[in-house]
Amino acid sequence: MHHAATSSSVHRSRWKALLGPLLLAEIGFTLLCLGAGALIWQASERRETENELARLQASHSVYARQLDTRLSTQQQHLRMLSRATRRVLVSAATQTRPARILTSDLPAVLSHDDVERVMTTLLDDYYAMDSLVSRLFVMPEGMRAFSVPEPLHETALPPYQRDATPQGTDSVVWWPRASSPEGYLVATRNVIEDGHYLARVGLEISMAQLQQLIRDEAGSAGEHWLVDAEGRSLMRDEATRILPDAAGRYGMQWLEGRDQALLWDTLPSTGWRLVSRLRLPDDSAWQKALPWLSIGLIMGNVLIFAGFVMVLYWRMQREEEGWQAALAGLGGWLTRLGETPPSHEDTSYTTLETMLARLEPHLRERASSDDWDMVSWSGRLQLPALLTEGGMLVGLNPTLAGLMGERPDAFRGTTLSAWLAPRLVDDQRRRIRLTDARGDTREYRLECLTVQGEHTVWGLFDQADIDDTLHQLRVARDQAREDARLKSGYLDHLRQELESALTDTAARDDQDSPGTAALRKRLDDALMLLETLTERPKGPEAAAQESRPRVLVVDDGPVNTLLACSVLERQGCQVETATSGEEALALAEHQAFDLVFMDIYMPSLDGMETSRRWRRLERRLARGHASVLVALTANVTEAGREAFLQAGMDDCLAKPYRPGDLVAMVRRWLGTANPSDE
């Protein structure tokens, strides 16, 4: 006797069994979330980086265009100043009246003082046009230089002012950084009249003001500087080392691990390039995704834990119901054996061991008296057969295993329905197709050979042998019918001759003689014997056929129908099948059935409605007895039973059912259909 375990220890063992899968599920889900989060973060970071870089490039191009506009404005002012200077200097050099360029009071010939006064006024006016200009100057040929805001002295003139040549171009020239004063950018334009050099006008832009303008336009984030057309820096010494040698008019380059970007755009008016080194934003995508990832991780783990708890609770409920059913079954066996069963409300191991202790003597007695082993019996069969227990395959007998080239236990644990499904050919005739070890395919007929408890033996009969046997039987039957017909004709002819002889004997004059009376007596006896022989009484087979119970199986599943027909015919029943409620009602119109197995869930007309119409049809036809309707359903509950009874059904059978369940249901409602199977 094993030591009985307590209920708490059972619950602890279940929790321990659940803990491992729960931890694995939690760890797996966490890793999955982290992996998905990493992928999402990478994709988001890449997308954010590309979007941010595209925005920076677009913004940088806008900044470059705005700066180019300011510098173009300075160049335009310089051209205007050069044209005005040319007119002034031309008027001072000629004796003719100059064009009216400044005022209507301009004299015809300007003196040196007039030139100084007019040039100072011009410089003051143009200097006030743009705050970016820090100085305007004019360097006339042969005269002193003019400058605003303060005058220039010859000794303080930079090289770009002293190197004036008459052959100089009249376009705007930006001087390199080496030739310009420290901290300034210088642009000049030569004043030329009829190929003669008259003067040079120029402007100075403070580098500090230009940098402030760039910061105002591009923002304070990052660093910005200008590079001339030859790649020389106008603001920073290290700019030439950072900008690529093959840098084009515009472009981008990653710096320092792709967290910084170098952008440059060309200013069309000057040919310079505005260069910016900008730092991209930090992991904003990860910072945005982290809260949602955390929430998803927490919620997912909570749902997994809740799911496992629900599964555990459901399994415990199922086990509790299973224990209740098993203990109730054991209690029923104890009641049949004359024992008083203990209460099975407490589903502990103590109650089970108590019941087993009471059943053990009876089981030993039954085992000692039962010497029929179905496994050994099926193994000795010469025809292919298979053994099932509760709808599950136990094994193949040696004949079937050798035919298929499989081990006897090759399909152990497989349901019979799953084994039959790919091999089923005709469910109405219960034919299946098997492929043997050599690759040959033959058809077999599946028949239920015997049922004992949960065990069922199914035999496979070669359809070719059956067809050959049926052909021989039909030939023998036709021959017997022909012989019987001939013999019946001979007997009829003999009876007619005897009747004629009796008629002749009765017409004779000596009919009252003793010899004639004895002869007539013998002829009468012979005629009575012939009449007895020529009668065709109903044969025992026809009587037995009429006495067999009629059973109808209504099910749209071909495998279930095949198995039910085989088992019920083995029990001596006449079995009809229908795959829908409409087909079942059509059969009921023409014949009565003793027992009907009705599937509840069918596609068109379900079992409940079919049962109601069945009862109305019986009342309309006024049949002597009503059919027993048994529901076939997977959900057997108290509410379901009540609904079946209200629909006119008498009982219900849970699916999937075993052969023994069908046999028990037939014997319960119809009695023993086939006494030889007892």
* DSSP state letter for 96: S
Give the pLDDT confidence score for residue 452 in this predicted structure.
75
Q: Which tokens go with 261?
A: 């970007």
Give the pLDDT confidence score for residue 155 in this predicted structure.
44
Task: Tell me which residue has tokens 């899968």.
Answer: 21
Q: 547-677: same fold as 63-279?
A: no
Give the pLDDT confidence score for residue 94 in this predicted structure.
63
pLDDT digits (tens, 9 = 90+) for 461-504: 887 887 777 778 878 877 777 777 767 766 776 777 777 777 77
Phi, psi at 137, each rounded to 5°: -145, 155
Alpha carbon distance 570, 341 (integer Å): 35
Alpha carbon distance 560, 603 (integer Å): 16
Per the prediction, the chain carries an average pLDDT of 76
Does 513 have pLDDT greater than 90? no
pLDDT digits (tens, 9 = 90+) for 10-67: 566 666 666 777 778 778 777 887 777 777 767 777 777 777 778 878 888 888 888 8
Give the pLDDT confidence score for residue 529 in this predicted structure.
66
Contact 587, 577 (CB under 8 A): no
Of all residues in the chain, what percent carry a pLDDT higher than 90?
8
Q: What are the sequence ranges of the domains in the chain?
A: 63-279, 286-367, 372-392+430-537, 547-677
Confidence band, pLDDT 50/70/90 cuts, at residue 2: very low
Q: Which tokens go with 359?
A: 């059943």
Give the pLDDT confidence score for residue 71 in this predicted structure.
86
Using alpha carbons, select from 287, 250, 292 the residue that is nearest to residue 271.
250
DSSP characters for 433-463? Answer: EEE-TTS-EEEEEEEEEEEETTEEEEEEEEH
Alpha carbon distance 644, 653 (integer Å): 11
Alpha carbon distance 275, 174 (integer Å): 18
Phi, psi at 129, each rounded to 5°: -70, -30
**CATH class of the domain at 547-677:** alpha beta
Does 104 have pLDDT greater than 60? no
pLDDT digits (tens, 9 = 90+) for 380-412: 778 888 888 877 888 888 888 888 888 888 888
Contact 491, 536 (CB under 8 A): no
Give the pLDDT confidence score for residue 512 in this predicted structure.
60
pLDDT digits (tens, 9 = 90+) for 66-81: 888 888 888 888 888 8
Reduce the DSSP state of residue 181 to 3 states and report it: coil
Does 595 have pLDDT greater than 80? yes
pLDDT digits (tens, 9 = 90+) for 329-379: 677 667 766 677 776 566 666 777 777 777 777 666 655 544 456 777 777
CATH topology for the 63-279 domain: Beta-Lactamase (3.30.450)
Alpha carbon distance 144, 284 (integer Å): 62
Alpha carbon distance 447, 249 (integer Å): 91
Does 631 have pLDDT greater than 90? yes
Alpha carbon distance 183, 234 (integer Å): 9
What is the side-by-side order of every strand in the sheet holding 574-578?
574-578, 550-554, 595-599, 628-633, 651-654
Using alpha carbons, select from 229, 216, 221 the residue that is nearest to residue 131.
216
3-state secondary structure 153-178: CHHHCCHHHHCCCCCCCCCCEECCHH
pLDDT digits (tens, 9 = 90+) for 212-230: 888 877 766 678 888 877 7
Give the pLDDT confidence score for residue 410 in this predicted structure.
82
Measured from the Cβ of residue 662, the count of other Cβ atoms closer than 10 Å reads 26
Does 509 have pLDDT greater than 70? no
Does 587 have pLDDT greater than 90? yes
Of all residues in the chain, what percent carry a pLDDT higher than 70?
76
Give the pLDDT confidence score for residue 100 in this predicted structure.
40
